[in-house]
Structure 1
Amino acid sequence: MPSFADFDRRHYRTVDVASGYDGWAPTYEQTVLDEMDLALLGRLRRLDLGRVRRAADLGCGTGRTGAWLRKHGISHIDGVDLSPGMLEQAIQRGAHTTLTEGDVRATGLTEGAYDLVIASLIDEHLPELAPFYAEAWRLAAPGALCVLVSYHPQFIMVSGMPTHYTGTSGEPVAISTHLHLFSEHMSAGLAAGWMLTEVAEALVDDAFLTKKPKWAELRGHPFTMATVWSRPGFQP
């Protein structure tokens, strides 16, 4: 399998996930666009939020996804994130029922308790996908959904761009980034027991380029994708 190092064009200084997001937390909201993830969630046809009573928001960050879920009527949302700095921002936002510092691959949340397990823009930080899908399965109740928004592997390969932010010194800092092909998602998800029910992709289009004009050379390329997985079983 190819690795991100095969495509890296930036060669920024790279830090671990917790340190990187702690450094990014104060400016994260100003640099991540809704078009990257929340708009894509809104396009999903198989994401029936009306039957979701409890959601696990893995890699919850500053609480953007949690706030989106709350806006769509979900009242119980448990968030987990590795970065204390990001969790502090999520606390201030107030969208989650509980917030826990922890790893998305071993959350410590209650087994079988959730109708929805959701994660956005985190899987590029995981060396392997299987532990994430296995943990999502552990958390899921029968009939539950797992939704994952990811940077599209084609975008990562064409752009050669790691997940990064600009530090207080003005230096670009990369956060440990991994490349995962769609086939890896399929293999890991199916091996955990999940059934794939929907895939959606977002493209770099004219509307997006009004906000990110430096990406003009990527016009027409996919930049994020969303997968919806279901756990077989009856959900009352």
Structure 2
Amino acid sequence: MPTFADFDRRNYNTVDVATGYDGWAPTYERTVLDEMDLGLLARLRVPVWDRVERAADLGCGTGRTGGWLRERGVRRIDGVDVSEGMLELARARGAHTSLRRADVRATGLPEGAYDLVIASLIDEHLPELGPFYTEARRLAAPGGRCVTVSYHPQFMMVTGMPTHYTPEGGAPVAISTHLHMLGEHLTAALAAGWALTEVVEAVVDDAWVRAKPKWAELRGHPFTIAFVWSRDGQS
């Protein structure tokens, strides 16, 4: 299978995930647009957000996803992240019921406790997807769902752009980035016991080009993708 290194055009200095997001935390909210992930969540047919009693927000970051879920009526949200800098911002936002520093592949959260397991824009930092989907399956209650939002592999291959940030007064820094084909998601999730319920994709459109004029040549290319997985196979 191809790796991100086969397509990387930037060759930035690369750091591990915790170090990278600690460094990015002060400017993260100014550089990430809702259309990347929250816009996709809003397009999903399921889950019905206000029926979710308890959610596990894996890779919760600054609490953007948790805040979005709270606004839509999710009652309890437990978040985990490997970056203490991001967790500090999530605590300040106040959307989560609990927050802990942990790996998304070994969260320490209770087994079978969650109607919803959600992870947004984190899988590119995982060398393999199997451990993530297995942990998500462990956390899900009967009838539970898993929602993931990812950078589309086609976008990563076309642009050769790693997840990165630019510290004030410094050079761009890449955060360890891995390429996962769509088939890898299917194989790993199905092996973990998930059934695919829904897929929604976002493309680079006029709104994106207005926000990032340099992306004009990418108009029409897929950008991000959301998967909805079901623990028990219901639609």
Q: TM-score range by the shorter chain?
A: over 0.9
**Residue aligning to 1:203:** 203
1:97-108 equivalent positions in 2, closer than 5 A: 97-108=97-108
Q: Which runs of 4+ in 1 moved over 4 A?
A: none
Aligned residues between the structures: 234
Letter of the 1:130 counterpart: G
Distance in 1, Cα, partners of 2:214 & 2:89: 28
1:109-124 equivalent positions in 2, closer than 5 A: 109-124=109-124
Letter of the 1:55 counterpart: A
Distance in 1, Cα, partners of 2:149 & 2:216: 23
Distance in 2, Cα, partners of 1:77 & 1:150: 21
Q: Percent identity?
A: 75
1:38-117 equivalent positions in 2, closer than 5 A: 38-117=38-117
* Runs of 5+ unmatched residues, structure 2: none
How far residue 62 of structure 1 moved from its aligned partner, in angstroms, is: 0.1
For residue 62 of structure 1, give the secondary structure of its aligned residue in structure 2.
coil
Contact conserved, 2:195 with 2:233, CA < 8 A, in 1?
A: no
Distance in 2, Cα, partners of 1:213 & 1:21: 26
Residues 29-72 of structure 1, C-alpha deviation per residue, up to 9 Å, x if partnerless?
A: 00000000000000001222132100000000000000000000
How far residue 170 of structure 1 moved from its aligned partner, in angstroms, is: 2.5
Distance in 2, Cα, partners of 1:27 & 1:203: 25
Distance in 2, Cα, partners of 1:31 & 1:80: 21
For residue 118 of structure 1, give the secondary structure of its aligned residue in structure 2.
strand
TM-score (norm 2): 0.98
Letter of the 1:41 counterpart: L
Distance in 2, Cα, partners of 1:214 & 1:86: 28
1:16-35 equivalent positions in 2, closer than 5 A: 16-35=16-35
**Residue aligning to 2:129:** 129
TM-score (norm 1): 0.98
Distance in 2, Cα, partners of 1:218 & 1:148: 23
* Runs of 5+ unmatched residues, structure 1: none
